[in-house]
Each structure stands twice: as structure tokens, then as C-alpha cells.
Amino acid sequence: MVAYIVRRLLLAVLTVWAISVLSFAIIHLPPGDYVTSYIASMSASGSAVSEGEAIAMREQLGLDQPITIQYAKWMGLMLQGNFGMAMEWGRPVSDVIGDRMSLTVVISVAAIIFTWAVALPIGIYSAVYRYSILDYAFTFIGFIGLAIPGFMLALIVMYIGFAYFGANVGGLFSPDYAEAPWSWARVWDLTLHLPIPAIVLGISGTAQLIRIMRSNLLDELRKPYVMTARARGLPEYRVILKYPVRVALNPFVSTIGYLLPYVVSGSIIVSLVLSLPTVGPLLLKALIAQDMFLAGTIVLLLGVLTVVGTFISDLLLMWVDPRIRLGQQ
């Protein structure tokens, strides 16, 4: 058991390292570097960067060195707990990300809650009343979210919110509270603005969840203990809810670990359209500006969260299910 955990930990470290190499490589794949994109953006707003200046900038930012050395330097900084300076932002990467991380988590959690609130009841219903009209209907509705491109849905919902319900356009706060310090009123304002992004973000995940819940539960319902319970005359809702649903939920509980990074990286485009102050649009802009420290850190962060999440999930799963524990040895 301990040996297994140690082995997994070592593998996790190895994976994280591989992710760091890969993310650094991805960011360097497009031709050019931050200075190129800086020059282009200056050019577009009517300024100019001379060749000498470009060379000096590359030198200052260390972009003139071979990629391996740049990587080594980045790693060196990382190991000291320093993520470097976000080039376009002129602020330390940790500050820039830190600003947005808490709201990102809030939105993601809201989206996850929405997904579960919609998908679990539908999943249970369609397992119990399989091939019924309502099974089809609910499944259909649940799958719509998967089928609509998120950016389209986001734009439409945002416009309808504005045109017919007088909602604020995008963002997570009304203008009055955008700058205000945290207070209960601001929290309330945030709560009022959460549903639209939560629904748009969460709806794409419902289908998957419905599908899994349905099949897990079907699996359980066939087992003899359910039949026994029925035979003993337990009320039907207890027969279903008491044990089978709980057992069917087990695999879900163990996936909580890496739910967050999935939702965060899945929300990039929608966050951009809805102008949410989350890390998604930040990552997108950093990639366009080829700001390797900022983009690299975010990609790595999401990667690490996934790895750690998976690790925790596996541990949880082992703890829950002895069959797996034995199988590993």
C-alpha cells in the first residue's frame, strides 16, 4: 500500500515534469516570441519598435537565449516559488493569476453544482423509468447542452439577458460593485450574476453525467439485494434511494479531485464571450501575446491540478473499493 502510494507519487512528479516541458514547448511552437507580438501590437496602434529596441528587449527578457536555457531558467524560478513577470501585464504572474483565481473557483463550483443538480435527478429517473417518454425527453434536454457550441449559447444567453431581462452585459458584477471592496452586498451582487455563467458552463457537462449516472444505477438495480429489498415490501423510493443511488454515486465522489481543472480549462471560450474575470481569458490572451511565463504557469497549474486530482481520486477509489486496492498489487 505505502509502496504503491510512493510509486504513484514518483510517477506524478514525473508527469508534472513532462507537462512542464510540453507546455513550454507548446507555447514556443508558434513562430515569433513575446517581442514579435509586442511589435505587432505597437504597430497596430501607430507606434513603432526599432530593431535595436527589439534586440534590447529580447536581451532583457532573456528571449535571445536558446529554448533549453529559457526552460531551465523558468524551472529555476519555479523551484524558488517565483513564477516570473507577466510580460504584457508588468506584474508578477502570481499576482495576475491570484486576482482571478478565486472568482474562477467560485464560477466553476457554481457550474459543477448546476451540472449535478440537473444531471443526477435526470440520470436516476431515466435509469428507473428506462425507455419511457420522460426518459427520452429528459435525456434529450440533457444532451442539448452538449450539442450547442458553448460560445454560441453564451452569446445568445447574454444578449437575451440584456434585451429581455435587463441583465448586465457579461461580467460577474454590476458596475456599482465592480470596484467596491468585499461586503455582503457585493457577495449578493455576485450571487445574482452567477446563474448565467454557471448554466452556460455547466450545461455542457450534464449529458456525460446523465449517461454515467444512468448506467451506474442500472447496474446496481439489477443486483439481488435490490430485488430482496423489493420483495420485502420496502417502498419503491427507499429501494432506489437508500442503497443503489448511493453506490452509483461512489465513482462520482472519487472524481471530485480533478473536476475543477476540467471545468476551468473547459470554460476558457465561454468565459471570454461572457467577459468573466477568470483565468480562461487570461490564458487565451497570454497565448496570443506569447507571454510564456503567464501562459506557461497557467497551463502547468491546470496540469498539476489534474494530476493531483487524479491521484487523490485514485486514493479515494482505493479506499472506497477494496477490489481495486487488491488489483493494484
Partner 1 sequence: MKLMRAVRVLASLGLAGAFAMGSVGAAAQTAAPAGAPKIGSSLIGKLQGPEIIRDAKAFPKTFKEAPTLAALVKDGKLPAVDKRLPEPSQLFVVKPLDQIGKYGGNWRRAFTGPADHENGNRIVSADKILTFDYTGTRIMPSLARDWKVSDDGKTTTIYLRKGAKWSDGKPLTADDFIFWYEDIYLNKNIVPTPFFEFQIDGKPGTMRKIDDYTVAFEFAEPYAFFVYQLAGSTAIGAGLATRGAFQNWGGAYAPAHYLKQFLPKYSSEEAANKKAKDLGFDNWVSLLRNRYSWALNPELPVMTPWKTVSPINTPTWAMERNPYFWGVDTAGNQLPYIDRITMSLAENAEVANLRAIAGEYDIQERHMHLSKLPVFLENQKKGNYTVKLDPGLNGADVALHVGMAYDADPEIGKLLRNKDFRHALALGIDRDQLNEAFWLGVGTAGSVAPAPDSVYSPGAEWNKKWGVLDLRQSNELLDKVGLTKKDPEGYRLRPDGKGRVRLEMVTVGGQFVPYTQVGEMIKQQWKKIGIDVDIKELERNLAFTRDNNNENQIITWANDGSEVLFLFPRHALPVDAAEAHMGIAFARWYASKGQSGKKPDDPEMLRAFDLFRSAFGMKEEDRVKAGKELWKIIVEQTWSIGTVGQSPAFMGVRIVKNNMGNVPDRQTNAQHVRTPYSSQPITFYFK
Partner 2 sequence: MKRPPKLAATPRSPAVTIDEGVVLAAGGQAEQRIAVATQWQLMWWRFRKHRLALGGTFVLVLFYLVSLFADFFAYTDPNESDAQRSLIAPQQIHWRDDGSFRPYVHALTGARDPLTFKRVYVPDPGKKVYLSFFASGEPYQFLGFIPMDRHLIGVQEGRAGDSLFLLGTDLQGRDMWSRLMYATQTSMTIGLVSVALSLVLGVVLGGVSGFFGGMIDTVIQRIIEILRSIPTIPLWMGLAAALPAEWSVVQVYFAITIIISLIGWTELARVVRGRFISLKEEDFVMAAELVGCSKSRIIFRHMVPSFISHIIAATTLAIPAIIISETSLSFLGLGLRPPAISWGVLLQDAQNIQALVISPWLLVPTIPVVVAVLAFNFMGDGIRDAADPYL
Residues at the site binding partner 1, with contacts judged by CB under 8 A: 30-32, 36-37, 39-53, 55-56, 60-62, 82, 85-86, 88-92, 96, 99, 136, 140, 155, 158-159, 162, 168-171, 175, 178-179, 271-277, 281, 285, 288-290
Q: Is 224 in the site for partner 2 (CB under 8 A)?
A: no
Which three three-digit cell numbers place residue 91? 506584474
Closer CB to partner 2, residue 44 or residue 48?
44
Strand partners of residue 236: none
Quick one: which of 4, 151, 173, 243 contacts partner 2 (CB under 8 A)?
151
Closer CB to partner 1, residue 146 or residue 155?
155
Angle (nearest 5°) at CA 92 between 95 and 27:
105
Cα distances (angstroms) measured from residue 83 to each of 11, 28, 124, 144, 282: 23, 17, 45, 40, 15
Q: Count of residues for the chain?
A: 329
Subset of 266-295 contacting partner 2 (CB under 8 A): 266-269, 283-284, 287-288, 295
Longest dimension (CA), the chain: 86
Binding mask 15-44 for partner 2 (x = CB under 8 A): x--xx--xx-xxx-xxx-------------
Quick one: which of 70, 104, 204, 297 contacts partner 2 (CB under 8 A)?
204
Note whether 269 and 285 are within 8 A (CB).
Answer: no
Q: Is 254 in the site for partner 2 (CB under 8 A)?
A: yes
For the chain, helix (H) and strand (E) counts, in that order, are: 17, 2
Note whether 173 and 186 are within 8 A (CB).
Answer: yes
Which span sits near partner 2 by CB under 8 A: 79-87, 130-138, 190-198, 224-232? 130-138
What are residue 222's phi and psi, to 5 degrees? -80, -10
Q: Is residue 4 exposed (0-12), middle (13-18) or buried (19+ Cβ within 10 Å)?
A: middle
Distance separating alpha carbons of residues 307 and 275, to the nearest angstrom: 28
Closer CB to partner 1, residue 56 or residue 75?
56
Closest CB 229 distance from partner 1, rounded Å: 33
Which span sits near partner 2 by CB under 8 A: 10-18, 45-53, 75-83, 94-102? 10-18
Residue 310 partner contact from partner 1, partner 2, none using kind-dependent CB cut-offs of 5 to 8 Å: partner 2
Closer CB to partner 1, residue 176 or residue 219?
176
